[in-house]
């Protein structure tokens, strides 16, 4: 197995202290948003044998296992991260697999450069993802019941929001949500800026259920995404709780530290809280206009102390072990590739001693004995 040296990405929304605090190092004063673990070409983990991309490419069947290669091809199909949000991320959705393939092929046909700021599809893959809280973690996930949203907007007392309130009381639900989001994203920019300013002042004055939207507006003044965010469920995860974000589900992370795992894709369609390109027609084609509970996940017990976060896709499988006081050993040998990440305590994996933030890549089938006292997350695939 290989100890991993991982890259930290300094996105502007990142916390300046959360990742350094986990790693036990001094903050630099700069935002540290994500630490990437895996074989994504943008920032592959490094090993004594080269980058993890190079390690996998040298012998895919040995590193990934025959079943995983047959199912996903000769590449690691997931990207694992530590994510530290110090400010809200963009409001976004991800396409399903068919939409990603179609969108990528169309933009390739039109010759849109893959690095063009208005390009929607960087690859032909979907991007389901799972976020698991390490600290209290705030986020937005999926559409709230339209009548509840209507009450929330009406409570602000902003006249320009009244048409949205009326629409949200209409039926059917799907059409109401679609019409309101479309109206928000296509409104006259100057008029929307005034609406957001009035709504922000009201949120700040009222506090309570409105406090998180006041904070969002502080980071993105005048952005129509502030109003769009109020259509969504606000969720506060406790450590160990998780959210699964499937295709078409609008979401945004607001604040907190967590581990995130996703299919190996860069496909993101934004709907606000960003200076980046927002393609409204394509966004409306991808969004699922369904109101539902956010669906907080808690791990389910499996044999040998493993706790599994169940999801409906195969590109990744996330679980954790909360290891008791040293003395017992767990056999984590598996016929699929694994990345093991320690987030608390001290854990021994084979010959490697891992403290918080340290990780190893384990090739398929390699004998994997684990002991120690702490928390260990396991990222692998279903093949």
Residues labelled catalytic: 270
> What CA–CA distance (Å, rounded) separates 65 from 61?
5
> What CA–CA distance (Å, rounded) separates 31 from 189?
30
Query: Using the 8-state DSSP alphabet, how is residue 90 labeled?
Result: P
Q: Cα–Cα distances in Å, from 62 out to 68, 259, 332, 368, 370?
A: 10, 27, 17, 15, 22
Residues 6+ apart with CB under 8 A from 29: 16
> What CA–CA distance (Å, rounded) separates 146 from 168?
5
- Omega prior to 172 cis, within 30 of 0: yes
Two tokens at 173?
A: 């639900």
Name the residue among 61, 64, 18 with its Cα closest to residue 39.
64
> What CA–CA distance (Å, rounded) separates 154 from 168?
11
| 3-state SS track over 125-194 | CCCCEEEEECCCEEEEEEECCHHHHHHHHHCCCCHHHHHHHHHHCCCCHHHHHHHHHHHHHHCCHHHHHH
Cα dihedral value 65, 66, 70, 73, nearest 10:
40
Helix (H) or strand (E) holding 73: none
Name the residue among 378, 372, 376 with its Cα closest to residue 324.
372
Query: Using the 8-state DSSP alphabet, how is residue 364 labeled?
Result: T
């Amino acid at each position: 197995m290989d100890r991993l040296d991982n890259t930290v990405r300094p996105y502007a929304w990142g916390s300046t202290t959360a990742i350094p605090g986990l790693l036990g190092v001094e903050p630099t004063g700069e935002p540290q948003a994500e630490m990437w673990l895996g074989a994504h070409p943008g920032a592959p983990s490094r090993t004594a044998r080269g980058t993890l991309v190079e390690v996998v490419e040298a012998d895919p069947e040995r590193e990934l296992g025959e079943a995983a290669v047959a199912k996903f091809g000769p590449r690691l199909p997931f990207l694992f991260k530590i994510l530290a949000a110090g400010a809200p991320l963009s409001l976004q959705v991800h396409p399903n697999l068919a939409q990603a393939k179609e969108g990528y092929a169309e933009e390739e046909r039109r010759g849109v450069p893959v690095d063009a700021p208005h390009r929607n599809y960087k690859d032909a893959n979907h991007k389901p993802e799972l976020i698991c809280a390490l600290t209290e973690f705030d986020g937005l996930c999926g559409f709230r019941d339209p009548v509840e949203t209507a009450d929330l907007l009406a409570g602000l007392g902003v006249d320009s929001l009244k048409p949205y309130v009326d629409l949200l009381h209409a039926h059917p639900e799907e059409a109401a949500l679609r019409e309101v989001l479309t109206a928000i994203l296509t409104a006259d920019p100057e008029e929307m800026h005034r609406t957001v300013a009035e709504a922000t002042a009201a949120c700040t004055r009222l506090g309570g259920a409105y406090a998180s939207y006041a904070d969002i507006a502080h980071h993105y003044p005048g952005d129509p995404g502030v109003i769009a965010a109020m259509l969504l469920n606000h969720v506060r995860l406790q450590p160990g709780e998780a959210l699964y974000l499937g295709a078409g589900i609008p979401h945004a992370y607001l604040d907190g530290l967590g581990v995130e795992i996703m299919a190996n894709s860069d496909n993101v369609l934004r709907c606000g809280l960003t200076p980046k390109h927002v393609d409204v027609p394509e966004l409306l084609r991808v969004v699922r206009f369904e109101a539902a509970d956010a669906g907080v996940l808690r791990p389910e017990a499996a044999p040998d102390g493993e706790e599994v976060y169940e999801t409906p896709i195969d590109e990744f499988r996330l679980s954790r072990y909360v290891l008791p006081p040293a003395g017992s050993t767990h056999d984590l040998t598996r016929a699929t590739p694994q990345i093991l990440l320690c987030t608390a305590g001290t854990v021994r994996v084979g010959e490697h001693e891992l403290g918080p933030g340290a990780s190893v890549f384990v090739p398929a089938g390699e004998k994997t004995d684990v002991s120690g006292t702490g928390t260990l997350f396991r990222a692998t695939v279903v093949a």
